[in-house]
Amino acid sequence: MCRHIAYLGPPVALGETLLQPPHALYRQSWAPRRQRNGTVNADGFGVGWYADGDPVPARYRRAGPIWGDLGFTDLARVVRTGSLLAAVRDATVPGADGEAAAAPFAAGPWLFSHNGAVGGWPGSVAPLAASLPAEELLSLAARNDSALVWALLLHRLRAGDELGQALADTVLDVATAAPGSRLNLLVTDGERIGATSWGDTLWYLTGPGDRSVVASEPYDDDPRWREVPDRTLLVATRTDVLLSPLKEPPA
CA distances from 8 to 15, 43, 217 (A): 15, 26, 16
> 116 by DSSP, 3-state: which?
strand
**Considering 1, 2, 24, 101, which one is annotated as catalytic?**
2
Helices (H), 55-202: 70-78, 126-131, 134-138, 145-158, 163-177
Say what angle helices 145-158 and 163-177 make with each other, to 10 degrees.
Answer: 140
Report the run of H or E that residue 15 belongs to, with start and end: helix 14-18
Cβ neighbours around 229 below 10 Å, total: 10
165: phi then psi, degrees, rounded to nearest 5: -65, -40
Residue 239: how many other CB atoms lie within 10 Å = 13
Distance CA 84, CA 79 (A): 11
- The question of whether 243 is a catalytic residue gets the answer no
Catalytic residues: 2
